[in-house]
Amino acid sequence: MEINDTQNMMGYVANPERYKKMQYKRCGNSGLLLPRLSLGLWHNFGDTDNLIKARRILRTAFDLGITHFDLANNYGPPYGAAETNFGKLFHQDFKNYRDELIISSKAGFDMWPGPYGNYGSKKYLIASLDQSLKRMGLDYVDIFYHHRPDPETPLEETMAALHQIVQQGKALYVGISNYSAELTKKAYDILKEMGTPLLTHQPKYSMFERWVEDGLLNVLDDKKVGGIVFSPLAQGLLTDKYLNGFPEDSRAVRDARYLDTGQITQDLLNKISALNDLAKNRNQSLAQMAIAWLLQKPQVTSVLVGVSKPEQLKDNVKALDNLTFKNEELQTIENILAN
């Protein structure tokens, strides 16, 4: 997709103050520091999206000190489009800043037809990363993830593929996503024996999605693996946007694949309203409080946010102004969620 933007006439120069306000945290037992907020390109970077807006989102992110851009092979639509479009924007605006960026990609969900374009075989993972690098015009990614467990392929084969990718210099670090606590322990042990550390796990985690608390957070603690969590706002539910109906530009209206209006019951709205009141008492928006709630967890290195406009990103970053919760506030949140 062509990018017609008057800003194209001028070269992008990053904000010289970009590192002064962003907070960074060491990822697990590694030397890698990650921004407390990272930018996910799951939405808003496909061929059906406005790349002028996408470009402004990327520029805003980096100007705020967000150095981590997270992709996957099948982000779009169509599959691969987010990586292709990111590649265009990267080479126009960020090529000179490559060594200041953490760029990640993943493979594990369906990508191309036939038996070799899905799940976790070495054939699929090696081929998929090669394709991703070509689409983005990169020599390597900083982190490469296996996107989901494969019940049919031996875990040893999948981890061997990740190990080979690091040995070949196609990725500096490797991670996993959507793995259970038990599989995470096994993956960690297999990689450790090969000599490649498991850097990070990327699970879905929010106030409304708590499965990681049933063992996975303990594993991340024990193995010193960093947590980079996605969907922190539960597809927009942990904001105030649905308290007065359904805005036309909201995800529930635009794309029912990820959030169906039928999910937004009165009981859920009551919980959102009560959480929103608590956030106001903390001088935060609900979105800011939801992000802060995750960041105060010691296992969470970074929170992946996805935005449709730069203003949302600026608002999310303000969560860093107040990451401290009183015990009574944490208990109030649990009481609200339990009702």
Domain ranges of the chain: 27-260+299-320
Q: What is the mean pLDDT of residues 144-153?
A: 98
CA 39, distance to chain mean position in Å, is 6
CA-CA distances (angstroms) from residue 306 to 18, 43, 135, 221, 283? Answer: 19, 7, 21, 26, 23
The arithmetic mean of pLDDT across residues 159-174, rounded, is 98
pLDDT at 294: 98
Here the tokens at position 304 are 């992946």
Helices of type H across 71-229: 81-89, 122-136, 155-167, 181-194, 216-223
What tokens were used for 161? 């593929």
Looking at residue 246, its pLDDT comes to 58
Confidence of residue 250 (pLDDT cuts 50, 70, 90): low
Whether the pLDDT of residue 9 is over 80: the answer is no
Looking at residue 4, what is its pLDDT? 52
Query: What is the model's pLDDT at position 197?
Result: 98
Instruction: Report the pLDDT averaged over residues 241-268.
Output: 68
| Low-confidence winner among 81-90, 208-217, 236-245, 308-317 (lowest mean pLDDT) | 236-245
| Between residues 203 and 11, the one the model is more confident about | 203
CATH class of 27-260+299-320: alpha beta
Least confident of 118-132, 183-197, 230-244, 318-332: 230-244
Half-sphere exposure of 128 (CA within 13 A, CB side): 32
Q: Do residues 62 and 321 touch, judged by C-beta distance below 8 A?
A: no
Does the pLDDT value for residue 1 go beyond 50?
no
Cβ pair 233, 208 in contact under 8 A:
no
- Residues 51-91: pLDDT tens digits? 999 999 999 999 999 999 999 999 999 999 999 999 999 99
Integer Cα distance of 122 and 158 in angstroms: 6
Phi-psi region of 89 (alpha: psi -120 to 50; beta: other; left: phi over 0): alpha
Instruction: With a cut of 60, say whether residue 255 has pLDDT above it.
Output: no
